[in-house]
Structure formats: structure tokens, C-alpha cells
Amino acid sequence: MARLSKKTPSVCTDNPLSNSEVNRKITLLSQILTSCFGPYGRLKQVHNTIGGHVLTTSTSSFLIQALNSSEPLLKLINASILNHVSRFSDCGLYVGILCLSLIKNVQTSDLRPSVAVLLNKHFLGLCTIYLKQEDCSCKVNIDLGDSRGLVTLARSVISSKPGCMLTKKENQHISTLAVHAFLLTVPNDETKETVRLGQTVTVPIEGQPVLDSAVFPGLMVDVPDILLHSTDIEGITQRSGPFRLALFTVSLSGDLSDLGLGSLEVHSGAPNPEDVVLDQLLWLGEQTVKDQVDVFMCQRVIHPVLQQYLRKCGVLTIERLGIDLIDLIVQMTGAQAVASYQTPVPPEAYGQVKGICVRTVGPRVLLHLLPSEETASAICTMVICHRNETMLNELKSAIQKAEHMLRLSLRHPVALLGGGCTETVLAAYCRNKGTNKAREASSILGVSQSEYLLGLHAYCLSLESVALALEHDGGTRLIDLTHAHCWYVPDGEASQSGVMEEAPPTCGCGMVERRSKPGQGAEPEWTLLNSRYPPFPPSPLVGDTSSGLLGTGSAPQPQVLDSFTAKLNALQVAVETANLILDIRCIIQDVN
Ligand SMILES: [Zn+2]
């Protein structure tokens, strides 16, 4: 008998942002996300009470999935972050930190939420227009013909994941490999109008040094040891290619149960059906040998007699490939996957590999299929090694994100300066532009000038909060009053006046150098980040020594770069989500 309980009335929460419990949860989420941000972010350990896998990470997608909140406002923010990450892979923490900071700063500014929403939209528009301008000073072009920019982009993504536990040298090695793998997936065929990028197959190996990681063109296939040490392999690896390849997706086990459901009636005197199937399989083997096939591959099982026959004829036979590899083999070799053994294999179904060899990486021995030049395939294999499973998983995820960023840069070859500099430049630009146009813009928007300035301050503070979130060790973040870049001073080395005894040689992104030593020549002007400073337009990055700073714009070598596409979308998602939250007047929850 079904149990029925009486419907409980829905719970309505009026003006949820004024609720202290909701605010406590928002602050907690903000603290968690901020503490994970950037290359020095603190790791979080995620595990459940019933045991199982323990995850050590600072990656937003893993964290947000683990943070199951029942609070509707937090669910909304988490969904926005996950949606952004599912499309762009990177900048998930950025979305969360900026969104929560905007909500907090609007709350402390005492602005009416409806006015704040209007103003946030307006300032987002200012930022977006500025970022898309040619002379935007926090943007650099990526030269796809020079791998340095691509390596910097990949390194910035990978180093922002401290869970990978990489040394500087390991980080450089992995970033270079990620770019190498990405370049191998870009097809050489320039004649086609649409370019289809290839794929990188990842082979993770646990317990090996990171520096053993490597990239190979083509595919690495796991095959049984017995085959690797057989004369078949020796025979083919000593010959020069190319080799003809046949690929089957149908089971060649000869097992009648593979024919499908139903009963089989055999008249007395008729041949044994299993013998008939084996005859067909052997006929297929004879045909492929006659067609000079060198490699015979099957997704499933191959009958031992057929295997023995093929081996005797010098054909390398590989079975049980699994479904995941089939598409990749088709793409790489140009073969067509054959789904029947009863009909002859059409000649166009055969594919080609340039060469075959055996590779040993750590404890793993793999069969390496080299792509044929004729198929112009863009498949490569990246072998990733790390000391333990947790670090290996984090590294694998970071490399996938870096690959995604590199692919985005192919479509739109520009990047934004990292290290907090884009945020400080944007904040300075908005502050200056907004202050100059306050009277005009406030009357167009229908708000008072003081409301406009309050909203502007809250918005700029929120952008600067993202740059401040990079700090985890008690150091100080400063902004220079010339180029508006972000500078880091270790704990205890910055004086309150903003003059630094031990100034760093460059800003966070590495594009602005400190020209003069302390006490010599013009002293640059700095101010503490998140403080009030007089509005000024950020100077373009060209040689300018009058301020004591040198923008290295003539030969830009940024040290940290972020994906333009991912960050622009993150900025939009963060502001739109904050506006949505600020706009919510009432939450209606069904409790049973
Ligand atoms: Zn900078």
C-alpha cells in the first residue's frame, strides 16, 4: 500500500540576501574558492564519510561538484561555474570569485540592488568594449608561427593547478609537450576550407618521473606481452613500411552465439555449423593474405585457428582492441571498419600505417603505430607520467584544459595578461572612464551621480579582488599608477606609503619591468590594491622611462598568459550571475 503524506506548504524566503545564514554560506563559498586560486592556491581534500576515493585538488570543476549545497542561491552560482567550465575548461574559480565579490561589494555599498544590476551591466559593457579594442593594453597577439606564446599559455594553465605538484622544470617540460601534442593535431592539409583538428590520446603511467612523459605521433596500443615478444612483432618491426591494414568490428571468434538470438536447427547429415563458420573465417583470412594485408586488427576476439593461419602467413594479428580505439584507427589509417566476415573485404576498406615499432615507457610496453603521410591524419599519443594516482589525475585534467585553451587560441589568436595584471588594468580603465563620464552616463542610465560612483567603486574593487585572490602567503599586492599592472611584494617588504624597499623586477605578467633601482632615478608610483587611488588612464606598454617603469611593449615576452576567449566569457558569466542573484526577491521552495 502506498504511503501518502499531506503536502506541506512551500517555504518562501523573502529577500534572501538579507538572511544572515545565506550570507554566511556565500562568504564560506567565497573563502573556499579564493583560497584555491592561482599557482599558490591551497589544495582541498575531497572525500565522503563512507570512504572511497579521496581527491586532492584545487580545480573548480572537481570542487564545485563536491560542494553539494542545498542553498538555492549557491546552487545557481555553482551551476554557472560548471556551465562555464564545461564550455571553456578554464577560469572557473575566476567566475566564482568575481561573482561573489560583486555581490559582497554591492551589499556593502548600500546601493539598491536594481540600481547595482543596471550599473554592473553598464560597467561590463565598458570592459567588453575595451577588451575588444585593438589598443587594449592587457591583450597580446599570439604568433602561431612561434611556439613561445603557446608554451606560455599552456604553462599558465598548468601552473595554476598546484595539485599537479610540478617543479619549474617539470612544468616547462609538460607545457612544451602539451604544445607539441596540440601542433601534431593540427592537420597539414591547407587546401581544405574547413580544418578538422585531430585528437590527442592520453596514456597515463603511474609511478614514473614526470620528465619521462613524452609525445608521439600516431597511436600507442596496449597489446599482450606474449604478442610483444613474438616473432610476429620482430618480423614487422624489422621491415620498412608502409603496411596494409585491415580492421574488423565484428567478432571473428567463430562462436555461434555471436550470430544473435534464436534457435538453430541442423538436419542430420548437414555439416557442423561451427565448421561452416570457421571455413568462412579461414576464407576471409586467405582473402586478406592474397590482398597483401600486413596487419589484421579486430575490435573483438579472433578465432585461434584464424590467428594461427594469419601468423603463419606473416600477418601481425591484434585482437580485443576495444571500441574506443576503432574511430582513432579509422582516422589515422584511412581504413574502413568492416562489420561482416561473410562478404569479401572491398579494396578501399584497407588502411595504411607507415611503420610499427615497440616502445617502452617505464614499466609499460606499447605497440606504436606510425601514421601514414598519405592519410594526413592528426592523431598523436601523449604518455603522461607522475609519481602517484592523485597527482596523475590532476595533471591529466590540467593538460586537457591547456589543450582546450590552445585550441581556442587557434580560432582567436590573442591572449590576456595573467598574474592579476588584466584585472588591475581593467579596474583602472573603468575607474578612469567611469569617473570622466559619470555625469553623462548617470543621466542616461537614470541614476544619481553618487549612485553611479558608488557602483563604479564596487565594480572596480571586485575586479581588483580577483588579483588580490592570487595572494596566499601574507604578501602585498600593489598597482603601479602608470601602466596599472599588478605587483607582488612578499610579506613584510611593502611599506604603507607604497614605496618598496625590495621591489620585484617585473609585474605579475612580466610585461612591465622596474627600470630604476630603489633610490636611483625616478621612483615609480604605487598604491595598495583595493584602496582608493586617483583615476588615471593605464599607459600603453611602450618604452617609457620617465615613471621609473619600462613597458616592454616593443618586444613583449609575457610570463603569464590567460585565454582571451575563456576569460572574456568568465567575466560576462560572473557579472550576469551576480546580477541574477542580486535581482532575486523571493525564493519559493517545495519541501516535500
Ligand atoms: Zn603585468
> Quick check: is 64 in a domain?
yes
pLDDT attached to residue 189: 67
Could you tell me the three cell numbers for 479?
598597482
CA 420 / ligand 1 centre spacing (Å): 7
pLDDT in tens, the chain (592 residues): 556 788 888 888 889 999 999 999 999 999 999 999 999 999 998 887 777 778 889 999 999 988 888 899 999 999 999 999 999 999 999 999 999 999 999 999 989 999 999 999 999 999 999 999 998 999 999 988 888 999 999 999 999 999 999 999 999 999 999 999 999 998 876 666 777 788 999 999 999 999 999 999 999 988 887 777 777 777 777 788 789 999 999 999 887 665 566 676 767 777 777 788 889 999 999 999 999 999 999 999 999 999 999 988 989 899 999 899 999 999 899 999 999 888 889 999 999 999 998 888 878 888 899 988 766 668 999 999 999 999 999 999 999 999 999 999 998 999 999 999 999 999 999 999 999 999 999 999 999 999 999 999 999 999 999 999 999 998 889 999 999 999 998 876 665 555 566 667 889 999 888 875 555 556 678 888 888 889 999 988 764 444 555 554 445 578 999 999 999 999 999 999 999 999 999 999 888 7
> Quick check: is 484 in a domain?
yes
pLDDT attached to residue 502: 63
351, 376, 401 - which closes a domain = 376
Q: Are residues 234 and 372 in the same domain?
A: yes
Q: Are residues 349 and 466 in the same domain?
A: no
> Quick check: is 190 in a domain?
no
CA 120 / ligand 1 centre spacing (Å): 25
Q: Indicate the SS3 state at residue 206.
A: strand
CA 503 / ligand 1 centre spacing (Å): 14
CA 499 / ligand 1 centre spacing (Å): 18
Peptide bond into 187 cis (omega under 30): no
CA 464 / ligand 1 centre spacing (Å): 13
pLDDT attached to residue 503: 66
> Quick check: is 413 in a domain?
no
Could you tell me the three cell numbers for 37?
586560486
Q: Are residues 431 and 365 in the same domain?
A: no
CA 173 / ligand 1 centre spacing (Å): 24
CA 513 / ligand 1 centre spacing (Å): 9
Q: Are residues 105 and 46 in the same domain?
A: yes
356, 376, 396 - which closes a domain = 376
- d(CA 171, CA 402) in angstroms, rounded, equals 12
Alpha-carbon dihedral angle through residues 339, 343, 348, 353, given to the nearest 10 degrees: 60
CA 246 / ligand 1 centre spacing (Å): 55
Q: Are residues 442 and 363 in the same domain?
A: no
Q: Which of 524, 220, 469 is nearest to 368 (CA)?
A: 220
Q: Are residues 432 and 529 in the same domain?
A: yes
CA 549 / ligand 1 centre spacing (Å): 11
CA 486 / ligand 1 centre spacing (Å): 6
- d(CA 177, CA 386) in angstroms, rounded, equals 14
CA 153 / ligand 1 centre spacing (Å): 15
Question: Could you list which residues have their CB under 5 Å from ion ligand 1?
Answer: 421, 485, 507, 509, 511
CA 417 / ligand 1 centre spacing (Å): 7
> Quick check: is 524 in a domain?
yes
CA 231 / ligand 1 centre spacing (Å): 60
CA 582 / ligand 1 centre spacing (Å): 32
> Quick check: is 310 in a domain?
yes
> Quick check: is 25 in a domain?
yes
CA 531 / ligand 1 centre spacing (Å): 19
* Cβ 459 vs Cβ 430: under 8 Å: yes
CA 112 / ligand 1 centre spacing (Å): 35
CA 566 / ligand 1 centre spacing (Å): 19
- d(CA 515, CA 523) in angstroms, rounded, equals 9
Q: Are residues 46 and 117 in the same domain?
A: yes
Q: State how far the alpha carbon of 573 is from the alpha carbons of 45, 76, 265, 566, 578, in Å.
A: 27, 12, 65, 10, 8
How far apart are the two ends of the chain, measured CA to CA in Å? Answer: 19
pLDDT attached to residue 553: 45
Q: Are residues 367 and 486 in the same domain?
A: no
pLDDT attached to residue 6: 84
CA 392 / ligand 1 centre spacing (Å): 31
CA 480 / ligand 1 centre spacing (Å): 10
Q: Are residues 469 and 520 in the same domain?
A: yes
Q: Are residues 359 and 422 in the same domain?
A: no
CA 204 / ligand 1 centre spacing (Å): 35
CA 508 / ligand 1 centre spacing (Å): 5
Could you tell me the three cell numbers for 23?
550570507
> Quick check: is 69 in a domain?
yes
CATH classification at residue 524: 1.10.560
CA 518 / ligand 1 centre spacing (Å): 19
Q: Which of 14, 23, 138, 130 is nearest to 71 (CA)?
A: 23
Could you tell me the three cell numbers for 226?
606474449
Longest distance between any two alpha carbons in the chain, whole Å = 107
Q: Are residues 469 and 543 in the same domain?
A: yes
Q: Mind giving me the DSSP string for 234-298?
A: HHHHTS-S-EEEEEE-S-BS--GGGG-SS-----TTSPPHHHHHHHHHHHHHHHHHHTT-SEEEE
Please say whether the dihedral angle defined by the alpha carbons of residues 203, 205, 208 and 210, taken in this order, is positive or negative.
positive
CA 183 / ligand 1 centre spacing (Å): 28
CA 479 / ligand 1 centre spacing (Å): 10
CA 197 / ligand 1 centre spacing (Å): 33
CA 162 / ligand 1 centre spacing (Å): 21
- Domain residues for the domain of 49 are 13-136+418-558+570-577
CA 406 / ligand 1 centre spacing (Å): 21
CA 463 / ligand 1 centre spacing (Å): 15
CA 155 / ligand 1 centre spacing (Å): 16
CATH classification at residue 223: 3.50.7.10
CA 127 / ligand 1 centre spacing (Å): 18
Task: List phi, psi (to 5°) of 469.
Answer: -65, -15
Tally the domains of the chain: 2
CA 61 / ligand 1 centre spacing (Å): 27
Q: Which residue has the cell 615497440?
A: 358
Q: Are residues 372 and 471 in the same domain?
A: no
376, 399, 427 - which closes a domain = 376
CA 394 / ligand 1 centre spacing (Å): 28
CA 551 / ligand 1 centre spacing (Å): 9
Q: Which residue has the cell 548600500?
A: 110
